[in-house]
Structure 1
Amino acid sequence: EWVCVSTDTKTVYEENGGTGKDFTTVVVSGNAAGVVSPPYVIYAAKTVNPLWCENGPAETQYRCSKKGWINEELFTDWFESLFIPETVHISKPIILIMDNLSAHISIKTIELALKNQIILMCLPPNTTHCLQPLDLTTFGFVLTYFRIYF
């Protein structure tokens, strides 16, 4: 395969690369006041390539997992390193509404929630599309623009 790039190009990207089976997960949270947390991006990789982190939104955290999906360890990391610090200034108790994914519930996450006066509320199975607040109000717009521009 031949690729033409300028001599100062350090990395060449394929416009339509990948297998079509690679996933990237982005965890976000927001509150009733409209404040949205920085993204927590999970790539399908063994290690995070520093190039993937360039020019991202401020305070974004980047992680990876084998398939690019969230797991128990990554959810706990998001909860402890991003969600709790982002909510420290909010009067307690607060509630975190989330889908009913087994990766969201671990003993460590529950202990952290209790310690920080955060009530964890899981939506019933198979209802995220009609009950999850961000699915109903935000993600539809994001998906529409993503399809247009990417």
Structure 2
Amino acid sequence: MPRNYKRRLGSLRYVDYAPEILEAALKKMVEDGWSLRQASAAHNIPFGTLRNKYMGIRTLKSEGQTVFSNAEELAFVKTVTICSDWGFPLTLTDLRYIAKSYLDSQGRNIGKFRANMPGTDWARSFLQRLKKDIRQKVASNIKRARANVSREDIVHYFENLSETLKDIPACNIFNYDETNVQDDPGKQKMLFRRGTKYPERICNFTKTATTIMMCGSASGVLLPPYVIYKAEKMWKQWIELGPKGEPCCNNRCCSVGSRYNRTQHRWMDAQTFTDWFESSFLPHAKSLPGRKVLIGDLSSHFTESVLRQCRENDVAFVCLPKCSTNLTPLASH
């Protein structure tokens, strides 16, 4: 539960009157012709508050002001419910990351949040305010012996997939996945002069990995690769002469070729996934009429921006069952 803060002695009271007193003051003004000052003095209600109520001007909540507007919080609720409906419910930590990602994308810096990351108190207060829409429930845990994906999970997945893909052309069905490529060739047995104490081979590598995001349609169209380097800055030499993919879309939406990004950890995260969706997938998807389906296993990277653009452009996600990529090879056919 959120913390209940006690009012400090001497701090301002924003509401020291009952709703009935406010209604009585407004009634005196409307029916008996009292002035604002008369009603304010007689009922001990601040002049500005009474004036705002009388004029119908929106006033702030007395229990504290929220960082996000009502529309923004409802958008977060939409994100949570969509992920839950897709079979990938979010945790409070996921909710906090979604809020942080939204603030960063808007260029807003909230002083009360450390590095723009809302705290656990904010997340619990959010649930308390919107308890009519979302609830936090305990998920069932399974033992290690039952952690493998069951036949029922796979059957249910393909039944849902068949229903989702009904009447959708192959060119509108996409499958995406990420992989990483290491530049460390590893150790091999080599030939050296007998008696060599320190057998070494000179190689130019850094023992780092580069993530590559690939996406293709069921009709055989391969979208340009999305490459993520592990670095603080993006060097110009890294983005020159990148592959376009074969057979790649020859239209203007994919003519630029490979897209590039960098992170400190070189993994795909919420921001890079959003950038891939907006810069690589969405331009091609917009050129296709009708409903589009995107199949993959990166549900933890969904953001409010991605889900909003899915609704606007008629794009639906189908999430693979967890740890099942080796069992669902037909998802892209």
What is the TM-score of this pair, normalised by structure 1? 0.72
**Structure 1 counterpart of 2:309, which letter?**
L
1:41·1:62 contact (CA, 8 Å) conserved in 2? yes
For structure 2, list consecutive stretches of 5 or more residues without a partner in the other structure. Answer: 1-201, 245-256
Distance 1:51 1:133 in 2: 37
Q: Which residue of 2 aligns with 1:55?
A: 241
1:29 to 180, 205, 215: 215
Match in the other structure for 1:125: 322
Give the structure with higher Rg (CA): 2
Which residues in structure 2 correspond to 1:23-102 (within 5 Å)?
23-58=209-244, 59-102=257-300
Gaps of 5+ in 1: 1-13, 138-150
Q: Quick one: distance in 2 between partners of 1:71 and 1:98?
A: 14
Q: Equivalent residue for 2:205?
A: 17
Please give the per-residue CA displacement for 1:80-133, whole angstroms capped at 9, x wherever unaligned: 111010122212211000114412x11111111111100011111111222155
Aligned structure 1 segments of 4 or more residues deviating by more than 6 angstroms: none
Match of 1:108 among 292, 299, 305: 305
Instruction: Give the residue type in structure 2 aligned to 1:87.
Output: A
> Greater strand share, 1 or 2?
1
For residues 46 and 133 of structure 1, do their structure 2 counterparts lie closer, same or farther at Cα, with a shift above 3 Å needed? farther
Three-state SS of the structure 1 residue aligned to 2:317 is strand
Q: Secondary structure at the match of 2:326?
A: helix
* Greater fraction helix: 2
Q: Does the Cα contact within 8 Å between 1:92 and 1:118 map onto a contact in 2?
A: no
1:35-54 residue CA offsets vs partner (Å, 9 max, x unmatched): 00001100000111111112
Rate the CA distance shift 1:133–1:39 in 2: closer, same or farther, 3 A.
farther
Distance of aligned partners of 1:48 and 1:80 in 2 relative to their CA distance in 1, 3 Å threshold: same
Which of 37-46 and 53-62 deviates more?
A: 53-62
Separation in structure 1 between the aligned mates of residue 298 and residue 275 of structure 2, nearest angstrom: 18
2:314 and 2:231 map into 1 onto residues whose CA distance is: 34
Q: Give a deviation string over 1:19-75, Cα, whole Å, max 9, x none.
A: x2x221111110011000001100000111111112212411110011111100110
Answer whether contact 1:95 1:121 (CA < 8 A) is retained. Answer: yes
Distance 1:132 1:78 in 2: 23
SS in structure 2 at match of 1:55: coil
- 1:147 alignment partner in structure 2: none
